[in-house]
A and B are shown apart, each in its own frame.
Chain A
Amino acid sequence: ETGVTQSPTHLIKTRGQQVTLRCSSQSGHNTVSWYQQALGQGPQFIFQYYREEENGRGNFPPRFSGLQFPNYSSELNVNALELDDSALYLCASSGWTSGRPTYNEQFFGPGTRLTVL
């Protein structure tokens, strides 16, 4: 177990609705990255937060937004949901592990499975 938690585990929404997914990073980690994994595909980078600031963004439209809180937990918000947004959403944290910087490695949470009907 990595210590990264995500909620909810599963979620069903309808087209046009909005959704908020949550992630708690591993203790000592100040960087959180979000990924979307469609069925049969590898995870796709959405964006990354470092110390509450966005620190890079993948090829996703502005209706995908996020934030990071002072305790380094993070939220991913998706507005105007589309059918193609159905996927597993993964959060990964990085930072200091066991007293040393390990930004090179990302630790993934179990994911939130979003279904859009």
Chain B
Amino acid sequence: RKEVEQDPGPFNVPEGATVAFNCTYSNSASQSFFWYRQDCRKEPKLLMSVYSSGNEDGRFTAQLNRASQYISLLIRDSKLSDSATYLCVVALGTGNQFYFGTGTSLTVIP
């Protein structure tokens, strides 16, 4: 069983749309949670950390439900520049080892 399950998409949405990504994780001992963004043929870059209380960064809102072992990312007012793959990440172990989902591909269409 994979540590992190994520819908690979693709999601094709018009500019200005609201889009939501979800993922689930299997290990209840998971300690930290993140969303990373990866552009085509580039390295992953941190988009935001995810907290149980929910957190917002501009147009992006992340939510964590520990009881359901579920993580979400909401993007409002989508921009063309939001087109990328969004990776759900959980961290485990003493060294905070990262386990990634498959990634969800988003294309924002003009």
Contacts and interface: CB of A to CB of B under 8 A. Distances in A.
B42 A94 contact: no
Give the size category of B's interface with A. 20 to 34
Given A55-B94, A56-B93, A56-B94, A45 B43 contact: no
Given A104-B49, A104-B91, A48 B44 contact: no
Interface stretch (B54-62, B69-77, B99-107): B99-107
Interface string B89-100: 001011111111
A48 B95 contact: yes
Nearest to A55: B95
B45 interface: yes
A48 B43 contact: no
A45 B99 contact: yes
A38 B44 CA distance: 14
B43 A103 contact: no
Interface string A45-67: 10010100001101000000000
Contacts, number: 59
B43 A104 contact: no
Nearest to B88: A42
Contacts of B97: 33, 45, 48, 56, 58
B98 A106 contact: yes
Contacts of B95: 31, 33, 48, 50, 55-56, 103
Contacts of A50: 95
Contacts of B96: 94, 103-104, 106
Contacts of A43: 44, 87, 98, 100
B98 A92 contact: yes
Interface in B1-45: 4, 6, 8, 32, 34, 42-45
Interface of B: 4, 6, 8, 32, 34, 42-46, 49, 87, 91, 93-103
